[in-house]
Amino acid sequence: MLCFALMFLLTPLVLLLFEGWKGMSYALLEKEVHCALFLSLWTATVATILSMGIAILVGYALHQLVLPLRRVLSVILSLPMSLPHLVSGVALLLLYGRKGLGDWLYTQFRIDFVFTQAGIVLALVFVNLSYAIVMMYSGYEEQGSHMEFTARTLGCSRLQAFCFVTFPLSRRTVASTTIMTWSRALGEFGAVIMIAGTTRMRTEILPTTIFLNMATGDLDIALGVSVILILVSVVCISLLELLMPSTKEGERC
Amino acid sequence: MLRIHDVSSAAGSCILENVNLTLADGAYCVILGSSGAGKTVFLETLAGRYPLIHGTIEWNGIELSHLPPEKRHIGLVYQDYALFPHLSVAKNIAFPLRFSHCSQKAKEERTASMLDLLSLSSVADARPGTLSGGEKQRVALGRALVMDPKILLLDEPLSALDWATRQQVRSMIKTIHQDLGKTIIHVTHDFAEAKYFADCMTFMQHRTLSAVLDQKSIQAITEEDIYERLRP
């Protein structure tokens, strides 16, 4: 069964790597790919920073709430995670489009999310925030409140206990959630295409490059960019594995 | 004087009901109770983890019940030590001093003297994960004592230690109590341990405390009596 699962999962990826390897060097010379790579990297990074900033605090707030409110809010906050990403994109378009809140945002602050790079960041935050919150919340739950309470008996306020004990003890969860959020943001397509569109060299990120080049029959670039995304995923998963301790911290002698 | 009057509190399904206890300054009170009797919940209630349903906790006339844990000045040493794994031994012990207003020099001197008192100077830079059980227990004690608490709560401090380390730590706790004169509440399920330390003793039964026994009554009590009292 294990062999079947491994073959089922890995065969298409190995084939893609094999086929796309030559295309990758060709793709890396293309100005379009440079733009898409640069845009993907910065939008994914900004979206990850925003998502993590919110998730660290919201996950902690959830962890502090009493049952059953904690469970109800946790389910509500997880909802966007289970939506198809295209649906998330449609919802964002409705809210931030010119017929929704977007018109007011544009006239008051000149902020426009539709067919813009800001729209890419918005979509990436929307589809990844739930995931980041759930991961951080689970991390805090796993840690428990034992250490935090001990810190409070030692003179810390709630905020000091969070800053000096709870947050430093969650550093592995923060690091792994950051890596996974960034990796997911780099590969996001559905929500982005709905709100930011696929304007070449303007709102084109790596997944849209694959889509555009597949649509126009330029397979070398499409396969080359796919290989780049696979390599990024491999690096992220390896980093994640390095962060996970093989034994529990605080092993006794 | 510590006065706990008619205290009830709830920690999930564990509910303490109408707990009463009065202790003179510098008393060493041992609470005996079987596992799951609510001993730890009682200590955590005193330290401020769970709000009171009713009742009062007073220290020399000052009402502590409504104060947050950081304002109560009650030290709590857990059975599992609850040391901060990301900080060295010295930083664990100095941790409460971060939030005090004394000078940096005074903080350093106080940390050094506590390390010295507990014979921990040689492992000052080590992380808790590399220490033995006895060393961890001493770090936890030092961290609680360095802030000069009004009351020290010990949650089964010897139960996770081997026999030799247990003898060492228990004589150290006794010395600390005699030298510093702190009011100590020590919970355990071990009668021999209770008899060794106690000025006064009480039992946690059916989610509440029984009447307090004085030194004379403690000496007269037998293991059969203890068994009867701790039987679920």
What's the rounded Cα separation, in Å, for the pair A15 and A11?
6
Within 13 Å and on the Cβ side, how many CA atoms surround A88?
Answer: 26
Within 13 Å and on the Cβ side, how many CA atoms surround B180?
Answer: 23
Closest partner residue to A165 among B74, B84, B130, by Cβ? B84
Q: Which residue has the tokens 């990297």?
A: A41
Contact state of B48 with A153 under an 8 Å Cβ cutoff: yes
pLDDT of residue B232: 65
pLDDT of residue A247: 43
pLDDT band at B154 (very low <50, low <70, confident <90, very high): very high
Provide the percentage of residues in chain A whose pLDDT is more than 90. 65
Query: Cβ contacts (< 8 Å) between B81 and chain A: which residues?
Result: none
Q: Which residue of A has its CA nearest to B148?
A: A154
Helix (H) or strand (E) holding B213: none
pLDDT of residue A245: 63
Mean pLDDT, rounded, for B164-179? 87
Establish if A164 touches chain B: CB-CB under 8 angstroms.
yes
Q: A47: distance to nearest CA of chain B, Å?
A: 29
What's the rounded Cα separation, in Å, for the pair A225 and A24?
6
What's the rounded Cα separation, in Å, for the pair A43 and A49?
10
Mean pLDDT, rounded, for B158-163? 83
Query: Cβ contacts (< 8 Å) between A164 and chain B: which residues?
Result: 95, 98
What's the rounded Cα separation, in Å, for the pair B142 and B75?
10
pLDDT of residue A246: 52
Domains of chain A: 34-196 (1.10.3720.10)
pLDDT of residue A253: 30
User: Which A positions 5-34 lie with beta carbon below 8 A of chain B?
Assistant: none
pLDDT of residue A67: 74
pLDDT band at A249 (very low <50, low <70, confident <90, very high): very low
Establish if A155 touches chain B: CB-CB under 8 angstroms.
yes
A250 pLDDT above the threshold of 70: no
What's the rounded Cα separation, in Å, for the pair B141 and B172?
10
B59: which 2 tokens?
A: 């220290």
In sequence order, the β-bridge partners of residue B62 are B59
Contact state of B99 with A155 under an 8 Å Cβ cutoff: yes
Q: Which residue of A has its CA nearest to B11?
A: A66
Q: pLDDT tens digits, residue range B34-71?
A: 888 888 999 999 999 999 999 999 999 899 988 999 99
> What ipTM does the predicted assembly reach?
0.90
Establish if A156 touches chain B: CB-CB under 8 angstroms.
yes
How many residues make up chain A in this entry? 253
In sequence order, the β-bridge partners of residue B151 are B74, B183
More confident residue, B227 or A103: A103
Q: Which residue of A has its CA nearest to B94?
A: A154
pTM: 0.84
Mean pLDDT, rounded, for A80-84? 88
In whole numbers, what is the pLDDT of chain A averaged over residues?
90
What's the rounded Cα separation, in Å, for the pair A170 and A162?
10
pLDDT of residue A18: 87
Q: pLDDT tens digits, residue range B86-141?
A: 999 999 999 999 988 888 999 999 999 999 988 899 999 999 999 998 899 999 99
